[in-house]
Structure 1
Amino acid sequence: MIRKISIACLAGTAILMAACGGSENSDDKVVVTATKDSLVQYATERLAGYAKVKLTTDLSQLSEKEKQMLPLLIEASQIMDELYWQQNFYANKDSFISSIKDPNVKAFAEINYGPWDKLNNEKPFVSGWSEKYAGAGFYPTGLTKEELEKSDVKDKFGQYSLIRRDSTGKLYSVPYHVAYRPQLEKAAGLLTQAAALAEDAGLKKYLTLRAKALLDDNYTASDIAWLDMKSNGIDIIIGPIENYEDGLYESRNAYEAYVLVKDKVWSERLSKYVKMLPELQKGLPVEDKYKAEAPGTDSELNAYDVVYYAGHCNSGSKTIAVNLPNDETIQKNKGTRRSQLKNAMKAKYDQILAPIAETLIDESQIGLVNFDAFFANVMFHEVAHGLGIKTTIDGKGTVRAALQEQGSWLEEAKADILGLYMVTKLVEKGELTGKKEAFYTTFMAGILRSVRFGASKAHGKANMLAFNYFEEKGAFEKNASGKYKVNFSKFEEAMNGLSNLIITLQGNGSKVAVENLQKEKAVIKPSLQKDLDGLASKGIPVDVVFEQGVKVLGL
């Protein structure tokens, strides 16, 4: 194993030296790659790519008790933030942050929850730190898949446990609710206090059950209670939810939280689309055996203003829509809730997507790019997680289990393309206003926005699959001035072809075939990278960073 390391690591402080020794392999070779000054410059330039956005909402729509609940929910979320630091970063956060003298490097480390740039393939940018271990803080640093799979650990691929090594080197697992007990007890207490203030019966039940779930890692009852909520004005998504941070298996979930205020007007407009899922499922452009499952219709589609992000969802690129729960059984039997984070979405459109479209979309089509189309594309991406196939057709179990670490990126690709399929069908049925051409052009601009995050994570791989597949099928071309122009008829044909390919791969549960697809098409080619570099030179932000909390809300 070759481990890259900076000059400063060779003479750094004790904490940095400990971090440099993260690999347990004795044959590591040190390769000097960067100076401290070059890393400071890199972090400073990358920090400038984040536009500051205040997270606020109209609090006048809330009752006095709802306003009293918000600080409690924000404090509970801050605990999730601290837990995510431990899961993403395998050293002491406070020592690490205090060791950084340059304010720009420190600010960039806080955005990334560690010394690795999440929007640039986890590139290290703090002197003394080598490349990130794929297992993050979930496993002993340097643990290989082979060693774990040969071990007698029972909970090898658990969603809610850590793998650790005892003094003799033997591997064992520790449940989250044991490993993080003090913090989780405090967070559960805050949720219980908020539940006592809740005037909505559904919200009260959910908060009570979620507090319990944090302490026993059994989230099913609280997930169902969350789906059963209908009339709540505020909400919180909290706990170990997404598995993208686990680079070994994508099995272990990372802590995060969103504190939300419902936009009841927008939510009312969106509610009708979920009921259309069974009909849309039947029309999928794939063989009948791959669309035999009936999607749940008890799902909710709501719009929210986010007033606080914490943990995984706040690291690097900020999430603008959520489709939960992730449990396939709950999805199949009951459905999901698709939460559209409207204020964050609008911020990204205004700060990032619109300027990118002005720069890279053909002048004759620039007028087709608009926020309503962006909102719909993102919204139906989340709805589309409910379409397709959840269980393989040949007895390999769930798609998630069969594809393992290859499952998440392909599922995101499926949601991208089936979301576009849904938009197409709903426009054709007159259920969605707007022109297909506007949705397609805005989708194209959205890909150009998203691929700036790189192709190391699930969403980046998904975006690159769509981009490269569409390019191969002639769905777009570049004009003489280097701008992208959509061929609308070929775009729709490519949409159907990619939908068929992805659902078939999922249904077959062939991990090898998905790996090959990733290697071939989920990559950024030099010509596209040149265009993306040009966006940076024009000062267009890569993402946003939030000013948030009780004071920002004026509470």
Structure 2
Amino acid sequence: MAADKKDFNYVVDRFADIEVLRYKVPDFENLSLKQKLLIYHLTEAALAGRDILWDQNGKYNLAIRDLIENVYSNYSGDKDSTEYKALEKYMKQIWFANGIHHHYSMDKFTPDFSREFLEKQISLLPASSRNKVTDTLLEVIFNPAVMPKKVNQAEGQDLILTSATNIYDGVTQQEVEAYYAAIKDTTDMTPVSYGLNTRKIKVDGKVVEQPYKIGGLYTEAIERIVKELKAASQYAENAAQKAYIDKLVEYYTTGDLKAFDEYSILWCEDTASQVDFINGFIESYDDPLGMTGSWESIVNFKNEEASSRTEVLSTNAQWFEDHSPVDPRFRKDKVKGVSAKVITAAILAGDAYPATPIGINLPNANWIRAAHGSKSVTLENITQAYDEASHGDGFNEEFVIDEPTRQLMNNYLFITDNLHTDLHECLGHGSGRLLPGVDQDALKAHGSTLEEARADLFALYYLADPKLIELGLLDNPEAYKAEYYKYILNGLMTQLMRIEPGKDVEEAHMRNRKLISEWAYEHGKADKVIEYVKQNGKTYIKINDYGKLRSLFGQLLGEIQRIKSEGDYEAGRDLVERYAVKVDKDIHNEVLARYSHLSIAPYKGFVNPVYTLVLETDGKSGVADVTVSYSEDYIPQMMRYSKEYSTLPR
């Protein structure tokens, strides 16, 4: 059983720009043994896919991880030396990013140790631990011109040739776009998610897809995933859950994207099961063209008490759709199958680990959402860990304009932040519709940014609606202002702490927040809706008219929904390039200087709990229980994962 808050040490490690936390799994001990065994095998299936994401993120990542871990494990020199400590930091960084590129900026890490130091340590390794392509690995690690960017989003460049991600090899952006334009059937109202589970290469001068499946790419890892999914299927809570687990096994076995759609429909229609999970190639943020899914998994179970608010939202989904400030042509006439719940995360894996989302809305296929609905979740034990770890960090005192605003945020930010996530995931992503014949990939490289902006705007607009008071989700009509202030402050200023001087904003979620905030600032300028003000030589954000700000959010939501519904690439590109990319150098420098006085890491992530099977005392009767513990630290966990879940050949 988890310790009380005052005894639970949330912070595990701190290095570079990263803070690693723990999260609790409250009420796990109250689940039935069958549910615990289901979770156990699903967590094993989750951890078995670790190597897949590493390889997707870069073709040399696994070999570099092995090399650095071997040097670290076999090091016998002075462990207080500057170079050894730099080696340890680099190892922690690539673990956190699942590869040699930063998980947010996408820039390649620059080691603080020398090439000579690493070469010497390699020479001291046992022969069995020396990688055969060491010279290549050293060049990748130390040459800044080699694979400098995991995902490049710079306008006017070939986004595939300038990205180091390993989902393309030997092909250009023009070739890939032409390939998919040729094979897509624009009259198909139920299209598969083209390119979701493949690497694109060139064979005999033609673009070819290599599928991720048993017998194909990543077969060694997928076979282990499937083995654990089959074990989990035996403990399914009901026939519906067993059906979608078995369908997922079929998809992994065949690589057939129609099977994935069938799985997605079965999954989103199962709303009765308490235990749930995602496992597969899902979100496409790390594809410069926004098509191929990065491998990830989250295992969870329903937080019954907290889910009451998301159930209220999903029950009223049609009201929110009908009152949306978008052109009625782009609204859904009938919202189908929106289910939402608050969950307790039990394990994080792949692209959801160590950094993780706080909300999920799936499936991503627009036609499945329209015909069968969607499933939305908020990971409240994760948001709780963030909240507990941030107490007393000095952020509000440094950046929030005045005491009344700080007090409002202290009182209401946790609930309004969670409600924003609920609205974003539960209703925002599921709202609206494409016009007939519009390709869901029409917005290309800007699709992820615009989709996140659309969902955020939907949430922001409705967070201030009296309907939330009527539904009992908020008890103060002023509460929404806490989230509005934090959002605009973050979008205009404080998220810049994550950007290196001279760099543009590139990550989709950061671009989304900047786009919304900058657009609202510019379009509210005449009425001074938002202002930059100086106090004691420091810049602050002041919101003068929250009502007009809500109106601006509604206007922008209407335009972005139009762009998505009509597939208006040029208008979408213009919005992103004008408002979401470029950074004001003076504001940026000031934000970095003010953050430097605070003990706040720009990025946070997690170590997982450890699940252990407890056998019956006679040793023959099977499993008596599954226990959860929180004692494993960052380095031991990563080293154990590398030992126990290394599945792919190097």
TM-score by length of 1: 0.84
Q: Give the aligned partner of residue 336 of structure 2.
A: 297
- Structure 2 match to 1:326: 364
Indicate if the aligned counterparts of 2:269 and 2:373 stay in contact, CA closer than 8 A: no
Where structure 1 has 5 or more consecutive residues not aligned to the other structure, the ranges are: 1-43
The 8 Å contact of residues 53 and 544 in structure 1, kept in 2 or not, is answered as: no
Match among 248, 257, 267 for residue 210 of structure 1: 248
- The answer as to 2:505 corresponding to 1:462 is no
3-state DSSP of counterpart to 1:117: coil
Q: Is the contact between residue 49 and residue 540 of structure 1 (CA under 8 Å) also seen in structure 2?
A: no
Quote the Cα distance in structure 1 between the aligned partners of 2:370 and 2:578.
32
Match of 2:398 in 1: 359
Letter in 1 for 2:26: T
Question: Residues 377 and 508 of structure 1: is their aligned pair in 2 closer, same or farther, counting only changes over 3 Å?
Answer: same
Rounded Cα–Cα distance in structure 1 between residues aligned with 2:401 and 2:416: 17
Q: Which range is displaced more, 88-97 or 147-156? A: 147-156
| Aligned counterparts of 1:153 and 1:331: Cα–Cα separation in 2 | 23
**Residue equivalent to 2:421:** 378
Distance 2:22 2:588 in 1: 27
Superposed, which structure 2 residues align to 1:151-550 within 5 Å? 158-166=195-203, 170-177=206-213, 178-217=216-255, 218-247=259-288, 249-291=289-331, 293-294=332-333, 296-314=335-353, 317-352=355-390, 355=393, 356-363=395-402, 364-369=404-409, 370-392=413-435, 396-398=437-439, 400-425=440-465, 426-427=467-468, 429-446=470-487, 448=490, 452-453=497-498, 455-472=505-522, 473=524, 474-481=528-535, 482-487=539-544, 488-523=546-581, 524-533=583-592, 534-550=594-610
Q: Report the residue type matching 1:184 in the other structure.
A: I
Q: Shift of the alpha carbon at 1:428?
A: 5.8
Q: Per the alignment, do residues 553 and 475 of structure 1 end up closer, same or farther by CA in structure 2, a change over 3 Å counting?
A: farther
CA RMSD of the aligned region, Å?
2.7
Q: In the superposition, relative to structure 1, how do residues 196 and 500 fare at CA in structure 2: closer, same or farther (>3 Å)?
A: same
- In the superposition, relative to structure 1, how do residues 501 and 195 fare at CA in structure 2: closer, same or farther (>3 Å)? same
Alpha-carbon shift at residue 154 of structure 1 (Å):
6.8
Question: Structure 2: which amino acid aligns with 1:526?
Answer: K
Contact conserved, 1:80 with 1:255, CA < 8 A, in 2? yes
How far, CA to CA, are the matches of 1:85 and 1:543 in structure 2? 19
Aligned twin of 1:147? 175
Give the whole-Å Cα distance in 1 for the aligned partners of 2:201 and 2:534.
57
> Is 2:429–2:454's contact at 8 Å kept on the other side of the alignment?
no
Alpha-carbon distance, 1:453 to partner: 4.6
SS where residue 271 of structure 2 aligns?
coil
Between Structure 1 and Structure 2, whose CA radius of gyration is higher? 2
SS at 2:321 equivalent: helix
Aligned to 1:40: none
Residue by residue, what CA displacement relative to the aligned partner does 1:460-479 show, whole Å, maximum 9, x if unpaired?
11011111112221433234
Residue type at the aligned position of 1:300: S
Q: 1:435 to 1:491 in 2, by over 3 A?
A: farther
The alpha carbon displacement at 1:340 in A equals 0.5
Q: Deviations over 1:47-72 (max 9, x none)?
A: 35324223433222210122222221
8 A Cα contact 2:65 2:94, kept in partner: no
Higher helix share: 1
Aligned position for 1:117: 102
Instruction: Determine if contact 2:299/2:348 at 8 Å carries over to the other structure.
Output: yes
2:285/2:508 contact within 8 Å kept: yes
Q: Which moved more, 1:96-105 or 1:150-159?
A: 150-159
Q: Deviations over 1:501-521 (max 9, x none)?
A: 212222332111111111110
Q: How many residues align?
A: 504
Cα 1:461–1:216 change in 2 (3 A) is: same
| Cα shift at 1:121 | 4.2
Aligned residue type for 2:196:
Q
Distance in 2, matches of 1:350 and 1:443, equals 21
Paired residues of 2:449 and 2:508 also in contact (CA < 8 A)? yes
State the partner residue of 1:29.
Answer: none
What one-letter code is carried by the residue in structure 1 that aligns with 2:169? P
1:354 Cα deviation after fit: 7.8
| Uncovered stretches (5+) of structure 2, i.e. residues with no partner | 1-12, 73-86, 112-140, 152-159, 185-193, 500-504, 612-626, 631-650
Q: Which amino acid aligns with 1:172?
A: V
For 1:125 and 1:155, locate their aligned partners in 2 and report how far apart those are by CA, in whole Å.
Answer: 41
Partner of 1:24: none
User: Which amino acid in the other structure matches residue 321 of structure 2?
Assistant: Q
SS of residue matched to 1:264: coil
Residues of 2 paired with 1:437 and 1:152: CA distance?
A: 49
Match of 1:86 in 2: 55
Q: Higher mean Cα deviation, 514-523 or 225-234?
A: 225-234
